[in-house]
Amino acid sequence: MGYKFEKLAVWQAALDYDGVLYDIAAHLPAAETYNLRSQMQRASTSISLNIAEGAVGQHDREQARFLGYAIRSVIETVACLHLACRRGYLARSDAAYMRAYQMSEHLFRQLCAMRRAIDPQAGWVSEDSPDYG
Measured between alpha carbons, how far is 100 from 78 in angstroms, rounded to an integer?
Answer: 8
Please say if the pLDDT value at position 126 is more than 60.
Answer: no
Return the higher-pLDDT residue of 130 and 55.
Answer: 55
pLDDT of residue 93: 96
Residue 133's pLDDT is 61
User: To the nearest whole number, what is the mean pLDDT of the chain?
Assistant: 92
Contact at 8 Å (CB) between 20 and 98? no
pLDDT one-digit tens code per residue, 65-76: 999 999 999 999
Q: What is the pLDDT of residue 1?
A: 60
Domain spans in the chain, listed from the N-terminal domain onward: 4-118
Between CA 84 and CA 101 the distance in angstroms is 13
CA distance linking residue 78 with residue 110, whole number of Å: 16
Share of the chain above pLDDT 70, in %: 90
Which pLDDT tens digit goes with each residue over 39-92? 999 999 999 999 999 998 778 999 999 999 999 999 999 999 999 999 999 999
Average pLDDT over every residue of 100-113: 97
Task: Give the CATH superfamily of 4-118.
Answer: 23S rRNA-intervening sequence (1.20.1440.60)
